[in-house]
Structure 1
Amino acid sequence: MAIVNDMEPEHPPLQNSSNEAIEKLGTGDAVASLTNGSETSIPTTKPPAPLTWKLAAVAITSLIRFGSAWSDGITSAMKSTLKKKLKINNRQFALLEASEDFMVTLLILPSGLLTDRMGGANTIVYGNLLFTLGLILVAAAAQAESFKFMIGARIIKALGDIATQVAQYKMFSSWFPPSSGFASTVAFELAMGKIGGFVGTATANVISHNTGKFSWTFWVAVFVNIFVNITTLFFWWFSKIAFKKFSPVADPSTGEKLTERSKKFELKKVSELPWTFWCVLAFSLFETSTAVIFQQNATEMAQQRFDINAIKAGWYSATVQYAGFFLVPLLGIFIDLFGNRISISKFSIVNPMDDSADISTVAFCGTGMFISMALINWVNTQTGFAAAFGVYAFALSFGPTTIIDSIRTSMWHQSVFGSAYAVKICMNNSMNIIVRIIAGVLQDYDDNSYRRVVQLYVFLAAMSVVVSALLVLLSWRSIDLRYLQWTRKQRLAKGQLWNERKKQFHEINGVRNRRASKACFAALITLVVGSWCAYIWGAVTGHNS
């Protein structure tokens, strides 16, 4: 895996106008630095995109995220209601949730390749239209109170979600390089998603109770998503004008030209994703699955532990899942300025060019997630459960932004970011299917109790801590993994080193690195096949229960 023990030598920054402009700005303002990524040495008659256009793109995309997150928060909040109205058990509810994950594992990789080829703006339009059709069918299934109809509707909805998941971050990667606004924009979009998810989760049972029909909760989500489609069409028009009017953006550190779409399918680059990329995915494998499955059951768990009704439990679970929305943009700015994507805990203010001061403790996210799950498992009081919810809300704020930005930073080629992010989603959804089915079986076995399910949470969270610790240790020894820790100043000053390591990865160590990438893909395929087996088993045993 080309792990190098030597500390990297100092290299002068690339000599281009972008570096000079950024150095003049300094590191005080992450948002102001966003415009610098568009100043390149690439000959062009078009002017670079101004900051106002970039911020407008972020704002429009975040509105799209707000609407889609609304509908995502509904099903988990209404778990008790759905089980009662659809006459299903926990295993069947897990199957209902896993049906979307199953479709994602089937189609997300082709969708990632297609997004890189067509561009995020084009892909997100048809994705949201299909997503809205799926939501209409889900609402109709709720109206008919049909479990089988609901599964089919969720599968249709998943087809649209597959296209939109990758497209949003692909668009950001073509506007903002690492350490020059990418983390900040992703964080802002995620914060808007948290707000949308909070509203959807918190109001789901309120709408159901006040209207007297739980299907109205899903119809409201349909109306919200119609607004999302209007916003999506406006963004498509906005993006089309922007790419005609302005020059392509380039990474001010490495000189890499950022692309919104490619001229061809770049399968070779996808098959050679670096080992550092797979290290980030190893952490996401456990951390993201813990978060997703916990959120699926948080409302019902709150009902049981606090002995409250579904409406109050919905507010509690919404708060724990989304309360940290205000921390997420701050984290994004921090990452853009100071790096430390692995540790996110300590950085050198005295000498930001000193690597040795950057890496000190494991990621807050993994550690916080484990503490939260441990409290839920071993502290049986309501106070302890409330504390666990609080720790979880704080820890969750550090996860998605760090993972997405680390994936982008670890890659040699931005042109296949859509495919790389699709690999991440495929892996997470495969793991989610397996864990959802296991959690459903354990809960049914425990007569609807969460005693054994929480033990599963603890194990997953503990594994995320182990991977975090390994990443910290590896970052001390490997130059390639240490890129994730670089501050903005370090990245600008060592762009030439990054380019040299990229060349060495492909040419000097090409055979070994390609072999490692293929091994990682083989492991991913094994996980995917395992998840399909789990889904089929869950479908068979679920319908026979």
Structure 2
Amino acid sequence: MSTTNEKIRPGSPSPSPIDEKPPSPYKSDGEYSSVLVTEVRKPKLPMLWRIVGLIVALKTTIISHTHINNSKFATLVAVTNLVNTFLCILLGFTIDKWGGQKLSVILAFFHLAGSMIIAGAATNNLNSFVLLVVGKVIAAIGDSSLDNAQHRIFSTYFAPGKGFAFSIGMIWSVANLGQFVGQSTANVITRNLGSYAWSLWISAIVSAFSFLCAITLVVIDKGLSSRYHITDQTNGGKHQGKTQSNIFSIKALRKLSATFWIIVAFAVFENAGVQSFISISTQFAQQRLKKGAVIGGWVSSFYLLLPIGLTPFLGVWIDAFGNRCVTPAPQVEIVRQVIPDPRYFATAFAIKKSVVQASIVIITTAAGKIQDDSGGSLDNAISLWLAYAFASVVISSALLVAGSPWWPILPAARLAQVPAKNTIAEVERLDKLGSIPSGEEGFKTLKERSYNLKIMGRNRGWVSWTMLALSIGIMLLGWVMFGLGVFWGVHGNVVAGTTGE
């Protein structure tokens, strides 16, 4: 008979709530609970078994074993969002300055360390909530921009229309597959092995594999750059294995295209709306089907199946035919396409990602408060999601019109629509239409002409500064809303998902 001191497995068997019905949304005295917990997963690591996704899938189990309430669990999940709202931008600057190869190793190490701490917090009945939070914070440091570092590596080796979209589609496919397997089997593993620590340790092992992959990538990259002449697709020069140390300037943000800021505005509504709505899927499935966590996890994982098979083919389509404003193009690819200088790709993507994270916190906290004030009904809260959806449709429609061949108000959006083989002809056509900003003349190369078609004119730099200020305002509002959520007993906390990233 085992005692509590025996250490024969990562967590002694204990009565598991895995097969229990989902917890009632009502308190013991019949009052409706004021805590709304919403979580979404964001698969990005190679061969990913996401620690965040597992924690969400194991929510009922973790609450039972650590003896915490919904509010504390929401805080556990929210840590990643709060870190991402500011750390993404700082790391985006760093990635553009030093390159994605070495940064991917450092960030993967942080994710591995955090995963091991989280798994250790559940081992041998330790069930430490404090260690879980510490592990999440450390993992969030790596998790916040590891995908950005990987995208930066791809942008070095692949040009738009020549494999970049396909490479992004492939990594998304593998990442979605990893998340689907992890999310749908976490509760099964816990039920069969007697402890949720096993699922978390498997996640740590896969994180270790990702760390080794990152190291291998650095070795291969260094070997290729030393033996062969590899063209850096972001600047046209020889790939040196790292970015020039003097590349970044804060003034470069002034030159981000108007199209980029429209994409950010679109993501504020579409990404946040979709991801926060998906976040209720597991508990919603449990309550609707009146089933346990295993069935709920499987049902809520189905939305990952279509991207597994679709994203590589979508990448091939974009590489071959363009149409980035028509198809549900990965925003990773379209951001790289519309910014004037691809060397600032990581910085631009980090700005978009940070604003989206803050917007997710805002909508989920607001939706939770609306639901509480409506006596637990989702009707009014769903109206908020519909408003977000309507705003995203309006913005995307405006972008489509502005990038049309008949009325190309935004040259960057128009160039994103054409395939790579037609870029030269389209640049010539836009030149004749007078799309180049006034005062910018005498260009000699296609790269220079394309750059000046996308850049803000000399008299429009204030637009970028204004949009950047609004972005910072949204991020600050996200923190304020999180604080209000604590005060209200409502937590809007989601980790960005795959949709539109």
TM-score per shorter chain, which class? 0.7 to 0.9
Which one-letter code corresponds to 1:196 in the other structure? Answer: G
Partner of 2:391: 463
Unaligned runs of 5+ in 2: 1-42, 432-445, 492-501
Q: TM-score, normalised by structure 2?
A: 0.77
CA contact (8 A) 1:271 1:517 kept: yes
Q: Distance in 1 between matches of 2:255 and 2:128?
A: 45
Q: 2:358 aligns with which of 427, 430, 437?
A: 430
- Residue equivalent to 1:489: 421
Alignment of 1:25-40 (within 5 A): none
Q: 2:284 aligns with which of 301, 322, 339?
A: 301
Q: 1:142 to 1:437 in 2, by over 3 A?
A: farther
Give the 5 Å matches for 1:90-239. 90-143=70-123, 144-239=126-221
| More helix as a share of residues | 1
2 CA distance for matches of 1:415 and 1:258? Answer: 14
Counterparts of 1:92 and 1:444, CA distance in 2:
18
Which residue does the alignment assign to 1:270? Answer: 253
- Of 229, 254, 265, the residue aligned with 1:282 is 265
1:460–1:64 distance in 2 versus 1, CA, 3 Å: closer
Superposed CA RMSD: 2.8
Matched residue, 1:530: 477
Of residues 417, 420, 431 in structure 1, which corresponds to 2:345? Answer: 417
Please report how far the alpha carbon of residue 310 of structure 1 lies from its aligned counterpart in structure 2 after TM superposition: 1.0
Change (3 A) 1:258 1:89: farther
Residue 511 of structure 1: CA displacement? 2.9
CA distance in 2, matches of 1:249, 1:542: 54
Q: State the Cα deviation string for residues 179-198 of structure 1 (Å, max 9, x = none).
A: 11111111111111110111
Which whole-Å CA distance do the structure 2 matches of 1:442 and 1:151 have between them? 28
Do structure 1's residue 502 and structure 2's residue 451 form an aligned pair? Answer: yes
1:60-97 Cα offsets, whole Å, 9 max, x none, are xxx98333453342133233333444445544443332
Choose the corresponding residue for 2:326, options 343, 346, 357.
343
Structure 1: unaligned runs, 5 residues or longer: 1-62, 345-397
Normalising by the residue count of structure 1, what TM-score does the alignment of the two structures yield?
Answer: 0.71
Q: Once structures 1 and 2 are overlaid, which stretch shifts more, 484-493 or 437-446?
A: 437-446
CA distance in 1 between counterparts of 2:373 and 2:120 reads 31
Matching residue within 43, 57, 70 for 2:50: 70
Identity of aligned residues (%): 26
Please tell me the residue identity of whatever aligns with 1:503. N
Report SS of the residue matched to 1:73: helix
Query: CA 1:69 to 1:286, structure 2 compared with 1: closer, same or farther past 3 Å?
Result: farther
- Structure 1 residue 448 displacement after superposition: 6.7
- Give the structure 1 partner of residue 27 of structure 2: none
Shift in Å, 1:291: 3.1
Aligned positions, number:
423
Q: Displacement, 1:280?
A: 1.5
Query: In 1, are the aligned partners of 2:44 and 2:146 still within 8 Å (CA)?
Result: no
CA contact (8 A) 2:89 2:351 kept: yes
Per-residue deviation at 1:536? 2.9
* 1:172 CA drift (Å): 0.6
Tell me which moved more, 303-312 or 181-190. Answer: 303-312
Pairwise mapping of residues 514-525 of structure 1 onto structure 2 (< 5 A)? 514-525=461-472
Question: What secondary structure sits across from 1:511 in the alignment?
Answer: coil
Does the CA-based 8 Å contact 2:412-2:453 persist in structure 1?
A: no
Judge conservation of contact 1:446–1:452 (CA < 8 Å) in 2: yes
Q: How does 1:244-393 map to 2 (within 5 A)?
A: 244-249=226-231, 256-257=236-237, 260-267=242-249, 268-344=251-327
The 1:457–1:142 alpha-carbon spacing in structure 2 relative to 1, beyond 3 Å, is farther
Query: What amino acid is the match of 1:328?
Result: T
**2-structure distance, mates of 1:296, 1:87:** 23
Residues 249 and 257, structure 1, Cα contact 8 Å, conserved in 2: yes
Closer, same or farther in 2 for the Cα pair 1:505/1:211, shift >3 Å? closer
Contact 1:277 1:411 in 2 (8 A): yes
